[in-house]
Structure formats: structure tokens, C-alpha cells
Amino acid sequence: MADTRAGAGGVGAANRYKPRSMRDAGRSFRRFWPHLRHHVRPERRLFVLGSLAMLAEVGMRLLEPWPLKYVVDGIVAATGSTAAGPVPANLPAVILLAAGSLLVIVLLRAAAAYASTVCFSLAGNRVLTGVRADVFEHLQRLSLRFHDGSTTGDLVTRLTSDVTRLKEVSVTAMLPMIGNVVTLVGMVVVVAVLDPLLALVMVVVLPVFLLTSSRLSRRIRHVSRDQRKAEGQLASLATETLGAVKVVQAYALEDRMGGRFERSNSSSLREGVRAKRLSAGLERSTDVLVGVATAVVLFVGAQRVLDGALTPGELTVFLTYLKAAFKPMRDIAKYTGRIAQAGASGERVVEVLESRPEVTDASWARPIGRARGDVRFEGVWFSYVPGHPVLRGLDLTVRPGERVAVVGASGAGKSSLVSLISRLRDPDEGAVRLDGHDLRNLTLESVRRSVAVVLQESVLFHGTVRENITAAVPDATDAQVERAARVAGAHDFVTALPDGYDTVVGERGGTLSGGQRQRVAIARAAMLDAPVVVLDEALTGLDEQTEHEVVDALGRLTRGRTTFVITHDLDAARGCERVVRLDGGRVVASGPPEVVLGDGADLPPVPLVGDAGDPKEVASRGA
């Protein structure tokens, strides 16, 4: 029953997971890891190569100041001080060698850095592209109950910008950060070998730094989560408004929508600025810390040189290390902030991936093959909200090929009833059976291939007319497509379009008229050749002429198939063999139309059959 581990009401209500420290960041990673693992495995070689290149780069970074030591000590000794030891035999050669080594080290370091960046970027991008595909795939399979509790904009934000942020951060922050930590450790080890006292100064700085950065990164992550949430709301509002731009303009809602957008926009700005301020604070406090450490090393180091414990060249190496450490530490501070932000994005992505679809194939599910179309509801209870059942122990049997109109007051549960037939939802109690099989024992795919649905507002996808018609049967031949279009009465108008079947219809089929859209949707349903057809208010909202054409098309579509006609239109109901009336979540009347609906006075029935009767009669029906 529970739709998601993150909560049944979609991910919007599911921000229960609240990381509190760097330890939680680790926990957060462990939570993400199972979703990454199978994408990381094929990239193993790249990760290994990248790591080797990174180690080489770190090695070069550590070597870089050493030529300086020999030059400084040589010069100092040559100019008369004993602190630097004896004067090298061939000072000009030493200086030349040092300069040459420096050049080689810098070149090798650049090459290693290039190789590690390329390897890690390639691998990281591939892994997260795979994760994004998983999220999309998963979102499509999540049950309607999950989508009821989520907003489209927020889910799109998780799919796009949250994954992009993870991608960016993993490549530009996470991996360099690992390199920086290794460099820091390497520096401390080298310094400890040369002079443990100076190493102590560096080591003392580290815990202070870690404390500051973990405290601030925790706050950054909290603020980032709020910011991502605000951005999700922003995207929801934009999707909603732009998706209904006609209504917005018709009701002059621009200002009101603008105001709501403004509020979400400001909230996103506010959180964004807070996060930036915290990150900047973290970076600057690191600057100060490194500055203090440099001053201490300079002071203590100078004493050690004067005492003869260190050479001036070695002090130069220490100071260069500290300066070099300055960058990794500052970067760590910068990356900690970004990684904390990515942590918030990661949680949002994991929440989606961990949500479990409610309607899934049972392990024992098997395909039904070609069904006859016998549909039964046995004691079906169904509710959207626990404790508020919409269907209450409903019983209904429909014979193969029977055409049944389902009528009832608005909100009586008609659409809910038919959503159970194609197993968009499962009953809480009781069973829905197709040819005697409980739908839960059949594979989802075979159930959905057995039930063709035509809705009131048929949604087409951006693409060609042909792609829309063959949506569920992509390998259909041209002849099959044309046959389906003829059943739907769409062939003539489609061939009159500029590119015929290859004409691209806009988003949601917006470049076609309502009636044309409906007929393409009927062709899509006809393509399935399903034994059961559900028409959910498929005639509502069409003008008289179009309605006549669509009625004809639906008649042809449903001929010989078990058909459920959900309608408020009593004429359409009269065209069916049987009318079922719903009330209070149960069937309260079932029988021939004239019995359930009365004799309908002077209105002739609308024949929902293949030849649709006499067109004149149909045309005069609404008069």
C-alpha cells in the first residue's frame, strides 16, 4: 500500500532526511552509492587512470619547491653563510639543473593534472548521465499516487538542475578535493621528516580548519536544501502557468501569477545569497587561518635557521609548502560549500530513486495474451485518502464485447472505477478481474495492452502524427497506421496536412484542433487493437459537427470490444447496451438504458456503432 519509502504523498512531503554533519554527508553518500554503483563499475578503468594521474600530480606538487632549496642553499653558502652547509662544487651547474628540474616538474604536473581532469570528468559525466536516465525512467513508473503528491516542476528540477549540480560538483569539486587532501597529507609528512616542530604548526592548524569547515558546511547544506526547495516551487509555478497560458490570459491572471512567482523567486534569491555568504565566510576564515600559520612558521622557522637546525633552503621549501597549502585549503573550503550544496541535491535525487512504485508486477505475474474482454469488479473498495473510500464494495460484471455506459453524479467515482481497469491504481480491497484473472496476477504491460483508453482531453506528444499514432506499437507498418487512422476518421485530414503523417504536432498536440487531436488519439487507441476500450468523457467539449465525426470514429473503434463509456451525456448513454449508475461508491442501478434512464422522451439514442446510423439523425440529435 505504501507508495514510497519517502512518503506516500510524493517527494514534496518527504524531506524527512536531514543531514546534520560531515558524518551525515558520508551517510548521504552511502545512501546514494547503491544507485551509483552499477554506473561506476563500467568506468572503473577511467577512475583508476584518473587516480594514478592525480597521485602523480600530487607528487609533482610536493617536488616543485625542492629545486628552490638547492639554489637558495647554494647561493647562501656561496655568499658566506655557514647555515646552508658547504658550497657546492659546481654552483652554476646546480643552479642550471635546479631550473631544468623545475621546468620538467611543472610540465609533468600539468600533464598529470590534465589527464586526471579528463579521466574524472569523462567518468563522472557518464555516471551521472546514467543516474539521470534512471531518475527519468523511475519517475515514469512511479504510481499515480506518488505523482498526485508531487508537482511536475519540482520533479523536473530534481531531474535536471539537481542532477546537473551533482555532475558539476563531482567533477569540479569532489575529485579535486580528494587531490587536495592527499597533497596536504603529503606536505605534512615531508615537513615532519625534515623538522617535526614546524610540522606541528601545520598540524595544529588542520583541526581548527576542519572544525570551522564542518560547522559552516552543515549550515550551507541546510540553506541549500531550502534554496533547492524554493527553486522546485519556482519551476512548478512556471510549469503550471505556462502550461495554462490560455487560461492565464483569458482571466487576466498575469499580475497574480507574477506576484506568486515573485515571492518564490525572492525566496530562492534570499536562500541563494545566504548560501553564498556562508561559503564566502568559510573561504575567508581559511585565508586568515593559513595567514596565521605562515606567520608562525616564518617566525619559528627563522629561529631554527639561526640555531642551525634548518638550512635557509629548507625554510624556503616550508614556506612554499605553506603557500601551496593555502590553495588546497582554500579550495577545500570552497569545495566543502559546494559539496554541501550538492549533498542537498543528492538527497532530492535519492528521494525519487528510493520511492517505490505502488503498482508493480508481482514476481508471479504472467502476461495474459489475447483477452476475450470479460471484466469483473468483485467487492472493490478504493480510496485516495485513507478512511475516505470512493468505491465501497462495488460489484460489476461486464461480458466480452458488451458496451456499458457508466453514469452518476460528478465525483461519484466513474473515472476512479475505470482507472482500476487498466491498473493505473489498485483496489484497497476486492479484485478487478480480466477473463477471470486478478489484474495483480498479470503483467502490467499485458494489462495495459489489453485496455485502450480515450480521454476527454486527449494529450498528444510533441512529434509527428505517425509517432503519436504508433506510440504504443512503435514497429507498426504504414498500412497498419493508415488502417488505424481510417478507423479514427483521421486519414483524410492527416493527408491534407502539409507533411501528411510526418507533420509535427506541437507540444500536447497544440497545432491540431480539438476534434483532430481526439481522432489522432482514437487512432492511437485503435493501433492497440485491445479487447477492452475505455472512453472517459471522450465526447465532451466538441462542437456538433466534430462530435458527429468523433462518435463515428468511436463507434468503429469499439465495435466488437468490451466498452466502458463514462459520460454525463444521456444521449451517449442511450447508445449503449447497458447503463450502470454509480452512487455512494456502489452500483445502484444496472440495466437497459430505457430502464435506468427512463424512456428519454423525445430524444433518439446515439448509436455508438460502426456505421453511426443516419448522419442526419445524428446531426439533428442535439437540435
Ligand X SMILES: Nc1ncnc2c1ncn2[C@@H]1O[C@H](COP(=O)(O)OP(=O)(O)OP(=O)(O)O)[C@@H](O)[C@H]1O
| C-alpha 348: how far from chain center | 9
Stretch that binds ligand X, among 50-58, 168-176, 412-420, 524-532 (CB under 6 A): 412-420
Binds ligand X by CB under 6 A, chosen from 413, 531, 575, 613: 413
Which residue lies nearer to ligand X by CB, 134 or 154? 154
Which residue lies nearer to ligand X by CB, 145 or 304? 145
Q: Is 120 exposed, middle or buried (0-12, 13-18, 19+ CB in 10 A)?
A: buried
Which cell numbers hold the place of 337? 560549500
Q: How far is the CB of 451 from ligand X (least distance, A)?
A: 17
Q: Does 411 bind ligand X (CB under 6 A)?
A: yes
Which residue lies nearer to ligand X by CB, 35 or 414? 414
Binds ligand X by CB under 6 A, chosen from 114, 251, 299, 384: 384
Q: How far is the CB of 390 from ligand X (least distance, A)?
A: 4
Dump the DSSP string for 280-299: HHHHHHHHHHHHHHHHHHHH
Give residues 137-166 in contact with ligand X (rule: CB under 6 A): 148
Whether the Cβ atoms of residue 551 and residue 612 lie closer than 8 Å to each other: yes
d(CA 526, CA 490): 12
Whether the Cβ atoms of residue 342 and residue 350 lie closer than 8 Å to each other: no
d(CA 54, CA 62): 12
Which residue lies nearer to ligand X by CB, 408 or 605? 408
Stretch that binds ligand X, among 166-174, 251-259, 408-416, 522-530 (CB under 6 A): 408-416
d(CA 172, CA 182): 16
Q: Does 320 bind ligand X (CB under 6 A)?
A: no
Which residue lies nearer to ligand X by CB, 384 or 461? 384
Q: How far is the CB of 274 from ligand X (least distance, A)?
A: 36
Q: Does 412 bind ligand X (CB under 6 A)?
A: yes
Q: How far is the CB of 603 from ligand X (least distance, A)?
A: 20
Stretch that binds ligand X, among 201-209, 345-353, 365-373, 410-418 (CB under 6 A): 410-418
Whether the Cβ atoms of residue 460 and residue 485 lie closer than 8 Å to each other: no
Which residue lies nearer to ligand X by CB, 411 or 510? 411
Q: How far is the CB of 452 from ligand X (least distance, A)?
A: 18
- How many residues sit close enough to ligand X to count as binding (CB under 6 A)? 11
Which residue lies nearer to ligand X by CB, 505 or 532? 532
Q: How far is the CB of 166 from ligand X (least distance, A)?
A: 31
Place of cell 508471479: 364
Q: How far is the CB of 539 from ligand X (least distance, A)?
A: 13
Q: Does 328 bind ligand X (CB under 6 A)?
A: no
Which residue lies nearer to ligand X by CB, 7 or 312? 7
Strands 388-398 and 375-385: antiparallel
| CA within 13 Å, CB half, 198 | 30
Q: Mark 440-469 with x for binding to ligand X (rule: CB under 6 A) and - for no binding.
A: ------------------------------
Give residues 557-576 in contact with ligand X (rule: CB under 6 A): none
Which cell numbers hold the place of 421? 481497469
Q: How far is CA 67 from CA 73, 103, 354, 478, in A?
A: 10, 10, 54, 75
Tell me 269's DSSP state: H
Q: Is 249 exposed, middle or buried (0-12, 13-18, 19+ CB in 10 A)?
A: exposed
Which residue lies nearer to ligand X by CB, 162 or 426? 426
**In 3D, which of 184, 135, 179 has the Cα closest to residue 345?**
135
d(CA 374, CA 380): 16
Q: Does 416 bind ligand X (CB under 6 A)?
A: yes
Which cell numbers hold the place of 293? 600559520
d(CA 456, CA 479): 27
Which residue lies nearer to ligand X by CB, 198 or 412? 412
Q: Check residue 560 and give left, alpha or beta (phi > 0: left; psi -120 to 50: alpha).
A: left
Q: Does 390 bind ligand X (CB under 6 A)?
A: yes
Residue 395, SS3 per DSSP: strand
Q: How far is the CB of 167 from ligand X (least distance, A)?
A: 34
Whether the Cβ atoms of residue 464 and residue 501 lie closer than 8 Å to each other: yes
> Which amino acid would we find at residue 234?
L
Binds ligand X by CB under 6 A, chosen from 10, 50, 313, 408: 408
Q: Does 414 bind ligand X (CB under 6 A)?
A: yes
Which residue lies nearer to ligand X by CB, 358 or 435? 358
Strand partners, 536: 455, 566
**Residues with Cβ < 8 Å from 5, sequence gap 6 or more?**
354, 355, 356
Which residue lies nearer to ligand X by CB, 285 or 540? 540
Stretch that binds ligand X, among 14-22, 187-195, 263-271, 409-417 (CB under 6 A): 409-417
Stretch that binds ligand X, among 54-62, 303-311, 403-411, 604-612 (CB under 6 A): 403-411
Q: Does 410 bind ligand X (CB under 6 A)?
A: yes
> Which residues of this protein are in contact with ligand X, per CB under 6 A?
148, 384, 390, 408, 410-416
